[in-house]
Amino acid sequence: MVKPKDILSQDEMSALLAKSDFRGFIELATSWGLIVAAFAIVGFWPHLPTIFIPVVVALIILGNRHLALAILVHDACHHALFKTRWLNEFAGKWFAAAPVLQDLDGYRNYHLQHHKYTGQDYQGEKGDPDIILTRNYPISKKSLWRWVLRDLTGRSAPRLYLGLLAMNLGLMKFDLSGRVVMLPQPERTAFGWVTLAIRKVGPFLFTNALMFTTLWLAGNGWLYLLWVGAALTTFQFFTRIRSIAEHGMLPRVADMLKNTRTTEVSWWHRLTFAPHHVNYHLEHHFLMAVPSYRLPKMHRLLKERGVFADAPLAYGYGEILRLATTK
């Protein structure tokens, strides 16, 4: 199996792995700036019947930013968002994980197993916890569009958020593979359950209450419904397609240069399926602690050295959809 040191020099790897607090701040500020812009688009144009256009634009941007915050949680779990360790943990928890009902520590333990067992079905306790996202592809066009319709009408979301809630509360093992593993619970009083809920779900409630309060003080509290609506619809759709692109329709082997795909994208893909360079997924698996803002440089290096002559590479998410519906 090819290793990073077989392709990259030590100096190149050191440069790619270098973290920056300033660049981490820019990544966070970009996401939150776009969230503010999405609210502003509708807030400054709340007139019927033309409100339909800004609402659709806002739902697209906010769904993409829900995904973007999840990607920043992912970067923080690899200690790749900020150079300063405490800042990585603090910002990863409060500015990325909490607003989208994620738990940084729980996700970190779960995600490292994905890297260890990429694309492998469970054998006992060993397996890829993300396997359910890509296991059944390719499928028919009819089946795919049925799932897309479920995503965009909010029918996919309840299962995800109920699962995340149960995982955050420690009721269920943190696992998105489709397995439901309930965890044994100690005896708790009513006060104990309230304390647990405040500790585990409190950050989500606090950050979302702060978002609503800020919008309300600006005279547009109703705009918070767009944040919720995007979580239930466009975010589900963008996440599905992004997940298919990363590991779908690829062989179940241990070689990361065969089981993981990079997708080259245009600017509008970054505002939908691929925020924070998440499309460079093979690069991430190849050297997983590289910050997202250095993945484009790593992609150029790997491409120049012929890695993608045999490794999976797609050109846009249109190609992904064709692959996903080609039996």
Please tell me what DSSP assigns to residue 313: E
C-alpha–C-alpha distance, residues 150 and 231, integer Å? 13
pLDDT digits (tens, 9 = 90+) for 60-101: 999 999 999 999 999 999 999 999 999 999 999 999 999 999
User: Is 90 exceeded by the pLDDT of residue 150?
Assistant: yes
Q: Which of 319, 262, 138 is nearest to 147 (CA)?
A: 138
> Phi and psi at residue 96, in whole multiples of 5°?
-125, -55
Buried b / exposed e across 75-89, counting CB within 10 Å, b at 16+? bbbbbbbbbeeeebb
pLDDT in tens, 202-253: 999 999 999 999 999 999 999 999 999 999 999 999 999 999 999 999 988 8
| Nearest one of 313, 175, 162, 190 to 246, comparing CA atoms | 313
For residue 178, pLDDT over 70 is answered with no
Domain total of the chain: 1
Q: 86 lies in which domain range? A: 4-324
Q: Count the Cβ atoms, other than its own, within 10 Å of residue 254.
A: 12
pTM: 0.94
Close Cβ partners of 89 (under 8 Å, ≥ 6 residues apart): 76, 104
Q: How many CB atoms lie within 10 A of CB 56?
A: 12
pLDDT per residue over 24-41, tens digit each?
A: 999 999 999 999 999 999
Q: Is the pLDDT of residue 49 over 80?
A: no
Task: Please answer whether residues 246 and 261 qualify as being in contact, where contact means their C-beta atoms are separated by less than 8 angstroms.
Answer: yes
Give the residue-averaged pLDDT of 13-33: 97
Whether 183 shows a pLDDT value over 80: the answer reads: no
Model confidence at 327, in pLDDT bands (50, 70, 90)?
Answer: low
Cα separation, 51 vs 44, in Å, equals 10
Task: State in Å, rounded, how far the first CA of the chain is from the last one.
Answer: 29
Crossing angle of the two packed helices 234-247 and 52-77, in degrees rounded to 10: 50
Q: Which of residues 123 and 77 earns the better pLDDT score?
A: 77
Q: Are 7 and 305 in contact (CB under 8 A)?
A: yes
Tell me if 171 sits within 8 A of 163, measured CB to CB.
Answer: no
